[in-house]
């Protein structure tokens, strides 16, 4: 009788520990990828904010470096395209290259400004937007 109670107690403790380990593993595998995606999106958003501040208030080399880095991050982030969709991600890339064109033009680098504006227009068109000569960007009908 004593041996039977001992085996029953061991079985209960074993099932409790096994259930805890299994439940913990399920929680970890369900939350870690989502948390990693949130951190990645937060870092990308912070990089966008930082590049805008440097574009607005920095010198040409500082703004250029920050905006080019942000454009590269946008192009290499599949998470951004998955959340915003292809059109939203391309809009951000186009906006970034448009800002680069404005900064280059203000600094007197017209050849770079033309190159960046061409990239901006290509990104807007890739996102399904039409570009007017009046510089307005609107969704294609």
CA distance 27 to 21: 10
Going 92 to 74 to 51 to 69, the CA torsion angle's sign is negative
CA-to-CA separations, 127 to 16, 45, 95, 105, in angstroms, rounded:
53, 20, 12, 25
Task: Name the packing angle between helices 78-106 and 2-57 (round to 10°).
Answer: 20
pLDDT of residue 128: 65
Q: What is the pLDDT of residues 73-110, one digit of tens each?
A: 887 776 666 666 665 677 888 889 999 999 999 999 88
Q: Does domain 43-139 have CATH number 1.25.40?
A: yes
pLDDT of residue 88: 67
Contact (Cβ atoms closer than 8 angstroms) between residue 47 and residue 65:
no
The reply to whether the predicted model has a pTM over 0.85 is no
Parse the chain into domains and list their residue ranges: 43-139
Share of the chain above pLDDT 70, in %: 79
pLDDT along the chain (141 residues), means of 10: 84 89 87 82 85 90 91 76 65 88 91 91 75 51 44
């Amino acid at each position: 009788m004593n041996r039977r109670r001992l085996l029953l107690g061991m079985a209960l403790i074993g099932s409790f520990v096994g259930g805890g380990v299994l439940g913990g593993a399920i929680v970890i595998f369900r939350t870690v990828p989502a948390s990693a995606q949130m951190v990645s999106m937060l870092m990308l958003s912070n990089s966008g904010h930082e590049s805008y501040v440097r574009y607005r208030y920095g010198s040409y080399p500082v703004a250029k470096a920050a905006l080019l880095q942000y454009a590269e991050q946008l192009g290499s982030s599949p998470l951004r395209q998955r959340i915003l969709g292809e059109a939203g991600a391309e809009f951000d890339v186009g906006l970034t290259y448009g800002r680069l064109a404005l900064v280059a033009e203000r600094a007197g680098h017209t050849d770079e400004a033309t190159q960046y504006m061409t990239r901006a227009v290509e990104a807007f068109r890739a996102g399904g937007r039409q570009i007017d000569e009046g510089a307005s960007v609107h969704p294609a009908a």
